[in-house]
Amino acid sequence: MTSVAISATGLFTPEQSISNAELVTAFNAYAAKFNADNASAIEAGVVTALQPSSVEFIEKASGIKARYVLDKAGVLDPDIMCPRLPERPNDQISVMAEIGVKAAQDALARAGRTARDVDAVLCAASNMQRAYPAMAIEIQEALGIEGFAFDMNVACSSATFGIQTAADFIRAGHARSVLVVNPEICSGHLNFRDRDSHFIFGDVATAVLVERADIAPAGSWMILGTKLKTVFSNNIRNNFGFLNRTAPEGVGATDKLFVQEGRKVFKEVVPMVADMILGQMAELNLKAGDLRRLWLHQANANMNRLISQRVLGREATEDDSPTVLDTYANTSSAGSIIAFHLNNGDLSAGDRGLICSFGAGYSAGCVFVSKAS
């Protein structure tokens, strides 16, 4: 079978960042105003008063200290509390394609590739900016790539599912070089008025260049094996869609944004992912000691600690399982790719590791890799 490698990854990080303190100040101003505006209904027991958020809770419960966003001012304005990203005319590149292109250019430059070398583009992300034309085709056009492109959405697992899809195209002989792009504008679907989750997400874009191993540059990462899994769950859900624009509650209702049962997600996803990793390790004949590093999905530091503990059989160090949650927060499918991108340069030829994602669906994806010489 044709061997496949990750030739390079790319990263686009927005310029603006919001600290927990800034986010909590904005939420608490909104909550105080809501409580004042609804004082008599709260007094009468018809409306529930909003509780303040806290920096200490956020950091302890999630490990998140800050998040990058495309529009800080809108998110922090207690009267707005969402990013203001003006609609662009059709003859301008859309914002999601724009950040995807930046990450893709970084990946291409690192691999020493030009657009002519690439046969296909997959835009794999949790949300697409529009229904059609596909974001991937706009990215393909902006980069000047021939061949084909399409969008795919597997929520937080979009990137790993994209990597396996790219690898399968290459193994089947349909492409030699496939660009998987993950523009995640998570601030657009986060409810910044919801105390339970307002701190979770950030914005970013990543890109992964997947290629036939025999053309991959020196220092690429051989894909040893991949495994995907999905199990239906309503515990992470967003009802936004093209059929509810005329519904009475319509766009803007809170169920048309991200909602989750965070505790249930935590309890159900940790064993599902740990079992999946261990099962795939057995299939690939890999022992815990064979894995030099785990680049796990970045949703919650405590989840990562438990999963890596089950996989390694011991407490993982930051070197075993690096986290980028403190600065990036949860960036959906891009999280494990950021962790990989920022933390693989120190590894040596022959070192093996695991890129692993998990999230809504539920969905989970494993990509086992080995550094080539």
> Residues in the site for ligand COA, rule: CB under 6 A?
53-54, 57-58, 61-62, 156, 195-196, 236, 260, 262-263, 265-266, 299-300, 303, 330, 359-360
CB of 162 to ligand COA, least distance (A): 17
CB of 50 to ligand COA, least distance (A): 11
CB of 183 to ligand COA, least distance (A): 16
Q: Cis check for the bond before 133: say yes or no (omega within 30 of 0).
A: yes
Give the residue with the Cβ less far from ligand COA, 143 or 265: 265
Tokens 């769950």 belong to which residue? 233
Give the residue with the Cβ less far from ligand COA, 216 or 303: 303
Give the residue with the Cβ less far from ligand COA, 260 or 336: 260
CA triple 365-15-151, angle to 5 deg: 35
Give the residue with the Cβ less far from ligand COA, 105 or 309: 309
Closest residue to ligand COA in the complex (CB): 262
Catalytic status, residue 186? no
CB of 91 to ligand COA, least distance (A): 34
Give the residue with the Cβ less far from ligand COA, 108 or 364: 364
Residues in the chain: 373
CB of 325 to ligand COA, least distance (A): 10
Give the residue with the Cβ less far from ligand COA, 300 or 308: 300
CB of 284 to ligand COA, least distance (A): 26
For residues 332 and 158, the answer to whether their CB atoms sit within 8 Å is yes
Tokens 């724009």 belong to which residue? 98
Give the residue with the Cβ less far from ligand COA, 221 or 295: 295
Q: Give the chain as a 3 state SS string.
A: CCCEEEEEEEEECCCEEEEHHHHHHHHHHHHHHHHHHCHHHHHCCCCCCCCCCCHHHHHHHHCCCEEEECCHHHHHCCCCCCCCCCCCCCCCCCHHHHHHHHHHHHHHHHHCCCHHHCCEEEEECCCCCCCCCCHHHHHHHHHCCCCEEEEECCHHHHHHHHHHHHHHHHHCCCCCEEEEEEEEEHHHCCCCCCCCCCCCECEEEEEEEEEEHHHCCCCCEEEEEEEEEECCCCCEECCCCCCCCCCCCCCCCHHHCCEECHHHHHHHHHHHHHHHHHHHHHHCCCCHHHEEEEEECCCCHHHHHHHHHHHHCCCCCCCCCCCCHHHHCECHHHHHHHHHHHCCCCCCCCCEEEEEEEECCCEEEEEEEEECC
**Which of 156, 186, 356, 366 is labelled catalytic?**
156
CB of 258 to ligand COA, least distance (A): 8
Q: Annotated catalytic sites, by residue?
A: 156
